[in-house]
């Protein structure tokens, strides 16, 4: 009982540490996206029945940060942030505009829920599958192994998580041999079983995802590989895994893996070092552009000045006529019907005068200035190139 | 600029609508164009200006395109 309470407290502390560490690692995201991601993970913890199994499944904040970073496109999010209509709690999005990183976290949560469910039940009954019974994991491991074989040439680093499930299915002893950090699990069979439960689905799914990603975006994979390589291969490397006091002596290697995992934060793909760019003119092209653009622009401005001045003259004419009609309406007419007609004509004249005056302003401030600005912008795009600053 | 177009459009539309309504009501209540013209002519010498413009036009056309002006 005491041990259970201790485990519960440790799990709570681990959860808080996990979320805090994850929050630090997700600083490359926009603040509201980061809060959303943290809240989704907090919900994941709140809804799980077995935090220990969830912790084992999530492996480490670094691993989760890498997964979120892969699904996060900062440029697209910048455009979506203002257009996106969010509900009051900030967690729900329009069905069409759910960001990729939310989908990725939901996928992780779904996998975690699938794993936590059997753990909450009778673990022994879940572990021992009869030989004749159909097992998804056999297929999964069978599917994952070709994927691992394909990736083995290009990505030897990622091979380890794929290979883990196969021995788990065979025997528990083999699982104990295959676990990269056996120190935590070795003394207790229960812990081994939980670790196996926690890791057996995750690597298979990751193997599928990574195989798909390797086909779809090899360049992105190449970018992410350093960060992934720094993460220890199997789930139990987590620095937030539950540490039983008796096992602390043997858990020392976990500290080493933490030390090796920490640099992965710096290698994360979402926080690349900013390269300063410098605009450098192409002199010959610039001179040629000026020689051609100046007369063409002048011709365009002169052509635009004709309707501009016409609008101005019409505006002045209508306004003068309207004012004259307005003045005469109150000065020279004795019949009320005539006054009404003159007022109507004055209003119409003034309205047309205002319209032409606005057209004149639009020609000057919009068309002519816009023409000059667009020519300058065209020259800037054609005659300048961006090179990295020395 | 778009907001400017919107504001100007609304003002012009309302003023034109009022002008048309005023003119229509004026003619319906007995306005007479000859009477209006005579008052305006007495005030602004419209006939004289029209005559002056016609003469200038005739001189210009006689100078540059005499065949057109013969009919007038």
Asked if A68 and A75 touch (Cβ cutoff 8 Å), the reply is no
Q: Which residue of A has its CA nearest to B35?
A: A338
Q: What is the pLDDT of residue A81?
A: 59
Q: What is the pTM (predicted TM-score) of this model? A: 0.40
Asked if B6 and B15 touch (Cβ cutoff 8 Å), the reply is no
On the question of pLDDT at A281 being above 80, the answer is yes
> Is residue A346 very low, low, confident or very high in pLDDT (cuts 50, 70, 90)?
very high
Q: pLDDT digits over A100-152, tens only?
A: 888 888 888 888 887 766 544 444 444 444 454 444 444 444 444 444 444 44
- Nearest by CB to residue A345, choosing from B5, B23, B35, is B23
Q: Please state the rounded mean pLDDT for residues A313-321.
A: 96
Q: pLDDT digits over A221-232, tens only?
A: 444 444 444 444
Q: Is A338 in Cβ contact with B22 (below 8 Å)?
A: no
Per-chain mean pLDDT for chain A = 68
Q: Is A344 in Cβ contact with B26 (below 8 Å)?
A: yes
- Nearest by CB to residue A355, choosing from B8, B25, B44, is B8
Residues of B in contact with A350 (CB under 8 A): 15
- Chain A interface includes B4 (CB < 8 A): yes
Q: Is B31 in Cβ contact with A335 (below 8 Å)?
A: yes
Residues A146, A128: Cα–Cα separation, whole Å: 26
Report the range of poorest mean pLDDT among A2-16, A69-83, A97-111, B17-31.
A2-16
pLDDT > 90 fraction of chain A, expressed in percent and rounded: 21
Q: Is A354 in Cβ contact with B16 (below 8 Å)?
A: no
3-state secondary structure chain A: CHHHHHHHHHHHHHHHHHHHHHHHHCCCCCHHHHHHHHHHHHHHHHHCCCHHHHHHHHCCHHHHHHHHHHHCCHHHHHHHHHHCCCCCCCCCCCHHHCCHHHHHHHHHHHHHHHHHHHHHCCHHHHHCCCCCCCCHHHHHHHHHHHHHHHHHHHCHHHHHHHHCHHHHHHCHHHHHHHCCCHHHHCCCHHHHHHHHHHHHHHHHHHHHHHHHHHHHCHHHHHHHHHHHHHCCCCHHHCCCCCCCHHHCCCCHHHHHHHHHHHHHHCCCCCCCCCCCEEEEECHHHHHHHHHHHHHHHHHHHHHHHHHHHHHHHHHHHHHHHHHHHHHHHHHCCCCHHHHHHHHHHHHHHHHHHHHHHHHHHHHHHHHHHHHHHHHHHHHHHHHEEEEECC
Q: What is the pLDDT of residue A118?
A: 54
Residues of B in contact with A344 (CB under 8 A): 18-26
> Is residue A195 very low, low, confident or very high in pLDDT (cuts 50, 70, 90)?
very low
On the question of pLDDT at A48 being above 70, the answer is yes
Cα of B3 to nearest chain A Cα, Å = 12
Q: Please state the rounded mean pLDDT for residues A55-63.
A: 84
Q: pLDDT digits over A174-183, tens only?
A: 444 444 444 3
Q: What is the pLDDT of residue B28?
A: 95
> Is residue A310 very low, low, confident or very high in pLDDT (cuts 50, 70, 90)?
very high
Q: Higher confidence at residue A205 or residue B33?
A: B33
Q: pLDDT digits over A201-251, tens only?
A: 444 444 455 545 545 544 444 444 444 444 444 444 444 444 444 444 444
Q: What is the pLDDT of residue A117?
A: 61
Report the range of poorest mean pLDDT among A119-123, A195-199, A354-358, A364-368.
A195-199
Q: Is A335 in Cβ contact with B11 (below 8 Å)?
A: no
Cα of A377 to nearest chain B Cα, Å = 20
Q: Which residue of A has its CA nearest to B23?
A: A341
> Is residue B64 very low, low, confident or very high in pLDDT (cuts 50, 70, 90)?
confident
Residues of A in contact with B22 (CB under 8 A): 340-341, 343-344, 347
Residues A51, A44: Cα–Cα separation, whole Å: 9
Residues of B in contact with A364 (CB under 8 A): none
Cα of B70 to nearest chain A Cα, Å = 31
Q: Is B11 in Cβ contact with A352 (below 8 Å)?
A: no
On the question of pLDDT at A4 being above 50, the answer is yes
Q: Higher confidence at residue A151 or residue A290?
A: A290
Which of A71-80, A106-115, A148-157 is most confident? Answer: A106-115
């Amino acid at each position: 009982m005491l041990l259970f309470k201790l485990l519960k407290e440790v799990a709570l502390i681990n959860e808080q540490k996990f979320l805090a560490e994850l929050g630090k690692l997700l600083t490359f995201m926009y603040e509201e996206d980061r809060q959303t991601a943290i809240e989704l993970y907090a919900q994941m913890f709140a809804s799980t029945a077995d935090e220990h199994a969830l912790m084992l499944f999530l492996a480490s904040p670094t691993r989760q940060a890498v997964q979120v970073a892969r699904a996060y496109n900062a440029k697209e999010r910048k455009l979506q942030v203002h257009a996106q209509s969010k509900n009051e709690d900030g967690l729900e999005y329009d069905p069409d505009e759910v960001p990729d990183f939310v989908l990725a976290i939901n996928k992780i949560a779904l996998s975690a829920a699938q794993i936590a469910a059997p753990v909450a039940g009778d673990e022994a009954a879940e572990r021992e599958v009869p030989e004749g019974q159909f097992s998804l994991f056999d297929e999964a491991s069978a599917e994952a192994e070709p994927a691992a074989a394909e990736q083995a040439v290009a990505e030897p680093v990622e091979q380890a998580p794929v290979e883990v499930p196969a021995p788990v299915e065979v025997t528990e002893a083999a699982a104990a041999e295959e676990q990269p950090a056996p120190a935590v699990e070795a003394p207790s069979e229960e812990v081994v079983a939980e670790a196996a439960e926690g890791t057996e689905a995750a690597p298979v799914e990751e193997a599928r995802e990574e195989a798909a990603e390797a086909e779809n975006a090899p360049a992105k994979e190449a970018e992410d590989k350093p960060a992934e390589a720094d993460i220890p291969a199997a789930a139990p490397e987590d620095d937030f895994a539950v540490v039983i006091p008796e096992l602390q002596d043997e858990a020392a290697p976990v500290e080493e893996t933490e030390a090796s995992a920490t640099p992965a934060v710096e290698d994360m793909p979402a926080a690349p070092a900013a390269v300063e760019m410098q605009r450098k003119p192409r002199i010959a092209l610039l001179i040629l552009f000026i020689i051609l653009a100046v007369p063409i622009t002048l011709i365009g401005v002169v052509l635009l000045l004709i309707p501009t001045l016409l609008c101005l003259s019409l505006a002045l004419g209508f306004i003068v006529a309207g004012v004259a009609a307005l003045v005469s309406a109150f000065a020279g007419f004795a019949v009320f019907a005539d006054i009404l007609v003159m007022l109507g004509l004055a209003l119409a004249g003034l309205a047309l005068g205002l319209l032409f005056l606005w057209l004149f302003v639009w020609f000057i401030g919009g068309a002519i200035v816009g023409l000059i600005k667009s020519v300058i912008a065209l020259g800037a795009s054609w005659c300048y190139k961006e090179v990295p600053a020395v | 600029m778009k907001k400017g177009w919107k504001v100007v459009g609304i003002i012009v539309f309302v003023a034109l609508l009022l002008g048309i309504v005023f003119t229509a009501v004026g003619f319906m209540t007995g306005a007479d164009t000859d009477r209006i013209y005579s008052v305006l002519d007495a005030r602004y010498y419209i006939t004289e200006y029209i005559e002056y413009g016609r003469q200038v036009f005739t001189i210009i056309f006689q100078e540059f395109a005499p065949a057109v002006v013969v009919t007038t």
